[in-house]
Structure 1
Amino acid sequence: MNDRRELLNNEKISNLLLKLSAPAIAGMVIQALYNIVDTIFVGKALGEASAQGIGGLTVAFPVQMIMAGLGLIIGIGGASIISRNLGSNNIDRAEKTLGNVIFLIFVFSALITVAVSLYINPIMKAFGATDTILPYAVDYLRIITYGCIFFIFAMATNNVVRAEGNANMAMFTMVIAGVTNIILDPIFIFGFGWGVKGAASATIISQLIGSLFLVYYLFSGKSILKLHIKNLIPQYDIIKENITIGLSPFARQSSSSLMVVVLNNVLAIYGGDVSIAVFGIINRLFMFIFMPMIGIVQGLQPIVGFNYGARNFERVMESVRLSIIVTTVMASIGFAIFYAFPEQLFGVFSNDPNLINSGKSAIRIMVLVVPLASFEFIGATLYQAIGKAKPSFVLSVSRQILFLIPLVIILPGFFDLKGVWIAFPIAGFLSFMLSIFMMNREFKVLKGHIPDNGYEYEIPQGTR
């Protein structure tokens, strides 16, 4: 335990960020890969119906994002509390937070399983499923819903493990789950002929295996934190702080989910099944840019949280600056690849020339300001890690809710289908400008070591 505290407190920031982020990046790339593999195998297995099958996964995806968002509420909120309390050497409160995280996992999993199971058909129709896409979407989502507890558990607990500085274990569970999914996909989809049901089954089994590894870690004695039965009893103050902080990443996930729902419905009007499939493919391709960036964010969070709790503000700012540079480089590389080779990328998913041509023009517009997205990611994470829920929430929802959704609704009226794609770079630029403004403001506060009355923020009890 002392070794990890020493690492977070004194290790050179560049080395520390590498140590904590590299495992997370590897895990997130595997996660992105198996989401893409699902789509590739479904597209190839269904042949002429590839647009409908991929469309089914696309329409069901917002529900998966909500599940992941619930895991992020619990995990990132809990991780922020745990990091700051480890920084201030309050182990008891950190362990109580772990127990409350486990409690919330079971509560949230039960709620979403019941809700989706009862209303799966109307949910999929509301989320943009056409009559031809609906059967595929329902078949896929029904299986995913039954295993949502494994989604939420793996997402939440991985963040807690990173909060105590053990990024390698978090990476290991993600890699195991991802590799399992990639192995099972062709067996279930082609070997058993299960189609989209096979993709869903592979995903759920892989998340189950990842969750079992995390359970083993928590009870193996290797974790800094000990899981005590008494700590499973909910504590109002911890749950309130956890959910308040976690609302920011949940808002990002939910706003992304809402954005996908709105897009699916708009695309059904202006482009039909092919356009929905195009967006689904682009969404998964973008994971190869954003997932490594999220890996940096996951490595950054415990550094910022611990050093903020220890009142070492210079290390907080240094880690944020470095993370912005690294994520911007990552996003710029992704931009160059996607802009240069769109036909080849879409050809991996489908042989449909209409889908490939539509995708080529769409992705070259949507990717234009992707390198600027790093500021939004890092800004929201900075506020999450230091416990400032309000500004983190604003940055998390700015691109999708404040800018993208209104533009997606308005612009097609002037530019038809092309207006949908144009909305993305405009929204990205506006979110970038907001992120710059808010982070500059926060850096002035940190440099002055004074309270930020503008956000009416109070240091949580556990870190005083």
Structure 2
Amino acid sequence: MAKTASQDLGTLPISKLLVKQAIPASIGILVMSLNILVDTIFVGQWIGSTAIAAINVVLPVSFFIAALGMSIGVGGSSIISRALGANNPDKALKTFGNQITLTLVLTISMVIAGLWFIDGILPAFGGKGNILEPAKIYYTIVLYGVPFLALSMMGNTVIRAEGKPKFAMYAMMIPSVSNLLLDYIFINLLDLGMAGAAWATTLAYVFCFAFIFWFFLSKNSELKIKKHHFGLQKPIVLEIASLGFVTLARQAVVSITYLFMNNILFNLGGETSVTAYAIVGRMLMFALFPVYGITQGFLPIAGFNYGAFKYARVKESIYTAIKYAAGLATLVFILLMVFPEAITRLFTDNAEVMLQTPPAMRWVFAATPIIALQLIGAAYFQAIGKAKQALLLTLLRQGFFFIPLIFILPMFYGELGVWIAFPISDVLATIVTAYFLNGEIIKNLNPESEPIS
């Protein structure tokens, strides 16, 4: 039998494998993040700073629905990686078919509900005052494209599970490049304003889906599913749900965080503070792309080798991923501490926003050098199928620490309390993750636990 790309996950040297997986993932995330960043710059320069705040109101809702696809993708891909590692292709095919069915049913249902309750959702997420009307225009159009985004996010994780990181990278680059081109046409040339920005985003999602659809039909994919694979099977659905819930819960907490942050900052500093948070939020998506790339590259490596009982390789992948991610996170930290004013100026020349954003950015990224351990630790438990531990560690930072802190600290420090909540939660979450990860390595990743071949 010919060697497949997925089998490389169990044989190539870990450092070489991590670079092979992480570089395409990082490039894909970079391009996607640049898209969000430049899209925000275009909107700010061509429409106005209020439009930036409007998009920030819509993002948590649309991303939460799309995260249904991501969660189904990550949960199913963990199963697929381990199934391929255990030489069980039939389970991998059934899992992929169930992923597609679940994604379609759930995201379309959520989009219908999201459009039906639009008048209650947008104000709840901070769509108030001058922000509401442009937010409504953007929200209505973007939601039509969200099922395509969800299917794309689901499919992208499966491509990685197959050991095809370059195709996953292409899938992330296509919507990013097309969105920027369409932004220029719809906003700058045709002067369509918020509607133009929304249609550019929606069509970009469709283009991404078209590429991923082609990939799975082509000879590049090992997963050739048939009609009977689409039928939902309870054991597979439950396993996808238990693991995927980790990702969904993470995005749910992110959306809730946006809801709280937009409202708290609106009450403390008005539209200016919401805009400052929108800019900092874009940098959170963009600046950490190499760290997220390593995390994405680490997932299939850990999952495949755990499924193949190669525990020494799993342990090596953990240490290597943390080392690489921490080094890159430190570089990001240095750049953001030195150049926050220049970064802010890319988005807007509004004097009040320019005054508030740089110090906020410094606080938000103050603990960046240590976050690699927290991200890799949570990803490890998800990769090996331990849903409870993965859920706990994923929700630590924002769910258990950050959200309580943004209510408590402003009572003593005002708006500053919101910003200092970021590094405090990073430090606390990293300490707890280190404790759990160290215990797991000592208990379950000893080479003597590997079966004799």
TM-score, L = length of structure 2? 0.97
What is residue 436 of structure 1 aligned with on the other side? 434
- Deviation of residue 277 (structure 1)? 0.6
What is residue 234 of structure 2 aligned with on the other side? 236
CA deviations on 1:263-315 (whole Å, 9 max, x unpaired) are 01100110110100100110101222333222111111111111000000010
1:248·1:380 contact (CA, 8 Å) conserved in 2?
no
CA deviations on 1:351-399 (whole Å, 9 max, x unpaired) are 1011011001111111100121111210111001100000100111111
Aligned residue for 2:303, secondary structure, equals: helix
1:21·1:297 contact (CA, 8 Å) conserved in 2?
yes
- Deviation of residue 6 (structure 1)? 3.6
What is residue 207 of structure 2 aligned with on the other side? 209
Of 55-64 and 195-204, the range deviating more from structure 2: 195-204
One-letter code of the match for 1:444? I
- Deviation of residue 330 (structure 1)? 1.6
CA deviations on 1:89-116 (whole Å, 9 max, x unpaired) are 0000100011001101111221111111
Q: Does 1:161 align with 2:159?
A: yes
CA distance in 1, matches of 2:420, 2:331: 21
One-letter code of the match for 2:262? N
Once the two structures are superposed, the pairs formed by residues 48-447 of structure 1 within 5 Å of their partners are 50-447=48-445
Aligned residue for 2:288, secondary structure, equals: helix
- Deviation of residue 449 (structure 1)? 6.8
CA deviations on 1:12-35 (whole Å, 9 max, x unpaired) are 001111111111111110110111
What is residue 17 of structure 1 aligned with on the other side? 18
Aligned residue for 2:349, secondary structure, equals: coil
Aligned residue for 2:91, secondary structure, equals: helix
What is residue 45 of structure 1 aligned with on the other side? 46
CA deviations on 1:199-226 (whole Å, 9 max, x unpaired) are 2211111111111111111111321111
- Deviation of residue 3 (structure 1)? 3.5
One-letter code of the match for 2:98? N
One-letter code of the match for 1:232? F
- Deviation of residue 329 (structure 1)? 1.4
Aligned residue for 2:127, secondary structure, equals: coil
- Deviation of residue 446 (structure 1)? 2.4
Q: How many residues matched?
A: 448
CA distance in 2, matches of 1:381, 1:217: 26
CA distance in 2, matches of 1:203, 1:320: 36
Query: Sequence identity, in percent?
Result: 37
1:82·1:94 contact (CA, 8 Å) conserved in 2?
yes
One-letter code of the match for 1:19? K
Instruction: Sort the Cα spacing of 1:365 and 1:5 in 2 relative to 1 into closer, same or farther, 3 A.
Output: closer
- Deviation of residue 448 (structure 1)? 4.0
2:314·2:445 contact (CA, 8 Å) conserved in 1?
no
Of 92-101 and 285-294, the range deviating more from structure 2: 285-294
What is residue 28 of structure 1 aligned with on the other side? 29
What is residue 460 of structure 1 aligned with on the other side? none
CA distance in 1, matches of 2:6, 2:342: 47
CA distance in 2, matches of 1:90, 1:350: 53
1:51·1:273 contact (CA, 8 Å) conserved in 2?
no
CA distance in 2, matches of 1:430, 1:10: 36
Aligned residue for 2:130, secondary structure, equals: coil
CA deviations on 1:402-461 (whole Å, 9 max, x unpaired) are 00111101111111111111111111111111111111111112234799xxxxxxxxxx
- Deviation of residue 67 (structure 1)? 2.5
CA distance in 2, matches of 1:178, 1:52: 23
Aligned residue for 2:128, secondary structure, equals: coil
CA distance in 2, matches of 1:166, 1:371: 29
CA distance in 2, matches of 1:198, 1:314: 52
What is residue 9 of structure 2 aligned with on the other side? 8
TM-score, L = length of structure 1? 0.94
CA distance in 2, matches of 1:447, 1:78: 23
Q: Segments of 4+ in structure 1 off by > 3 A?
A: 447-451
